[in-house]
Amino acid sequence: MRVNKVLLVNAGTDDHVSSIANDGTFPALGVVSLATVLMHDHPHLEVIAVDGQITPMPVVERLVRDFEPDVLGISVLGTSYRNTLRLAALGKDVGAVTILGNDQAAAMARQILRHREAVDYVCAADVGEFAFSAFISALNGDRPVESVPQLLYRTRDGIAHNALPELPSLLGGGALTTRVLDAVPVPDRSLMPASNWDQYLRNYVERYGSLHDGEITGVTTMNRARGCARVKSPCHFCGIADLTLRFSSPEVFWADVRAGREQVAASIFYEAFDSMSSSPRWVEQLVRAKPDDIGDPKFFVYTQAAETTPRLVELYRGLGVYRVNMGLESGDTRMLKLLKGPRDSLENNRRAATLLKEADILIYGSLVLGGPGETQESLANTVAFAEWLVDNGMMASIQAQPLYPDFGALTGRWLMNPDLARAAAKEKGFEILDEALLESMPDKYGHTDVVDFDEISMDWCRIFSRVGWSELLDATRVVRSYADAHGATSGSSRISEAVLNAG
């Protein structure tokens, strides 16, 4: 075949799923970055990128029918899987080759290909731009499909996985690689419809406009670094497939900022680096390289409480950080060490929050309820901590939800491997509360591609948490109601609206 038209869709959240606090306020950069690389490597292509998070599903479906793409690429999360399947089926109806990417696709690739005939390929690459471009070349007959990095697909012998490096070999790789992401071009944000950018701005101003004194002219996402210092021992609920630290140079970082200002008049930038606090040296390089004529861009970045020091906060201020996403997770030291690791504590959470407050940097924080060994006391400590954060004016927004055991995370692997869970319980000092249920988990969830968030979270709770599911939901509602009543935005992730609103 010869590929002439490609449609890239970030699938919107399924109707039944609760919204997170940031929904629809920052763009899905991935599909824009993919489109940019395709246009560079395959200039004959007609490429459209669209975000289903802010584009109604009927509009996206009409676009698929009217555009009739040769290739339909869908970026899918666990929260958008049902919408993804609808789009994939429609893509096959119009004759498209369908390919899925992003977190859900990478974690569930084999199950998806076994169960969904409407999905032809899955790309499991973390840096997917080069793999996707190679995929188009393979469809055009310019290279064998077996050479496309991190591609999964059906063969006569079963499901094949091209376990090849996803970054071009000339770039090197490995932890703390300084310029490896310079190979990812600055996104051409004009490849996404102007109506999408206008809607992001409206959503952001409506939800967070009060955080700013000056005019907000535009919002955008960028992703010039990836990974986390916890790469060898990640948080137990973290489902990110590759936490190896990788960076762009300061020059390319600021070129991306300049492009965002010129292309979509962005004054607010969400830098999606998994953990900005993991490399203060890189942050310092960015501050030193900040161009004099770049204006006053404001940044929203990820930080970790255990890594947030006075020096780092000073660098954040020099960079222009106005808000951080900080995974607080719990207000109980024992639970923090079980969920994250030995460096984490309530004292560190309070210290980091206070440092940020003193620097006038607000927090977008999340709380994970019902971790292994959660008790009434630890849950009460977390609710009290959330109220302390809100009372002290530290929170722009707060999320709370029962723990969801992502299959890409250690918690999900415990469910799928009971012996691993028992070994962890012995090592870390929590108990398996329902052995029979734990033994049934691999058969229940190991062969399906559709997982009910509420059901698997309830199963997790019965096996690992000493606090019941209904009490976790009550605590979720208490935290969210308190935040809403005191001027902070709230949200929940991976839980259905029906269950959340039932109380």
**Among the residues of 241-299, which ranges form H helices?**
250-264, 280-289
Return the minimum-mean-pLDDT range out of 12-26, 296-310, 402-416, 420-434.
12-26
Rounded to an integer, the average pLDDT of 424-431 is: 95
pLDDT, residue 233, reads: 87
Which two tokens mark 336? 């923090």
Q: How many CB atoms lie within 10 A of CB 251?
A: 13
> Tokens 């206008």 appear where?
198
Percent of the chain with pLDDT over 90: 82
| Matching residue, tokens 């469809």 | 139
- pLDDT at residue number 180: 86
One-letter amino acid for residue 317 of the chain? R
Single pTM value for the model: 0.92
Distance of CA 335 to the CA centre of its chain: 23
What angle is formed at CA 493 by the lines to CA 487 and CA 497, rounded to 5 degrees? 85
pLDDT band at 171 (very low <50, low <70, confident <90, very high): very low
Residue 169 phi, psi (nearest 5):
-60, -30
| pLDDT over 80 (residue 467) | yes
What value does the mean pLDDT of the chain take? 93
Mean pLDDT of 166-190: 71
**Whole-number pLDDT of residue 377:** 98
Q: What is the DSSP letter of 146?
A: G
- 3-state secondary structure at position 246: strand
Amino acid at 262: E
Residue ranges of domains in the chain, CATH in brackets: 5-166 (3.40.50.2300), 170-303 (3.30.750), 332-341+362-503 (no CATH)
Does 174 score more than 50 pLDDT?
Answer: no
- The contacts of residue 315 (CB under 8 Å, 6+ apart) are 280, 283, 284, 287
Q: Could you give the CA distance from residue 338 to residue 475 in angstroms, rounded to a whole number?
A: 20
- pLDDT confidence tier of residue 490, bands split at 50, 70 and 90: very high
Read off the pLDDT of each residue in 333-358 and give the average, rounded to a whole number. Answer: 96
pLDDT for residue 16: 77
pLDDT tens track for 69-121: 999 999 998 889 999 999 999 999 999 999 999 988 998 999 999 999 999 99
- 203-209 average pLDDT score: 92
Angle, helices 250-264 vs 280-289, to 10°: value is: 60
Residue with tokens 């249920």: 437
Q: Is the pLDDT of residue 224 over 60?
A: yes
Note the pLDDT of residue 18: 65
In the block, which residue shows the tokens 């449609």? Answer: 7
Reported as a single tens digit per residue, the pLDDT across 243-253 is 889 899 999 99
Percent of the chain with pLDDT over 70: 96
Q: Give Cβ neighbours of residue 371 (< 8 Å, ≥ 6 apart).
A: 236, 237, 329, 330, 335, 338, 339, 403, 464, 465
Of 297, 295, 268, nearest to 209 by C-alpha is: 268
Q: Per-residue confidence at 166, pLDDT binned at 50, 70, 90? A: confident
Residue 481 has pLDDT above 80, yes or no: yes
Instruction: Determine the average pLDDT of the residues in 249-275.
Output: 97
Average pLDDT over residues 418-443: 96
Return all residues near 46 (Cβ < 8 A) that are at least 6 apart.
Answer: 4, 5, 6
Residue 225 near residue 246 (C-beta atoms within 8 A) = yes
Contacts of 144 (CB under 8 A, 6+ apart): 138
pLDDT at 38: 97
* pLDDT of res. 176: 39
The per-residue pLDDT for 503 is 65
19-78, pLDDT tens digit by residue? 665 667 898 899 999 999 999 999 999 999 999 999 999 999 999 999 999 999 999 988
**pLDDT of res. 20:** 61
Q: Are 36 and 192 in contact (CB under 8 A)?
A: no
User: Rg (Cα) of the chain, in Å, rounded?
Assistant: 22
- pLDDT, average across residues 132-136: 97
What pLDDT, on a 0 to 100 scale, did the predictor assign at position 7? 98
Phi, psi of 271 (to 5 degrees): -85, 110
User: Among residues 493, 499, 279, 277, which one has the least CA distance to residue 404?
Assistant: 493
Q: What number is the average pLDDT over the span 201-230? A: 93
pLDDT of 442 above 70:
yes
**What number is the average pLDDT over the span 240-263?**
93
Statement: residue 173 has pLDDT above 70: no
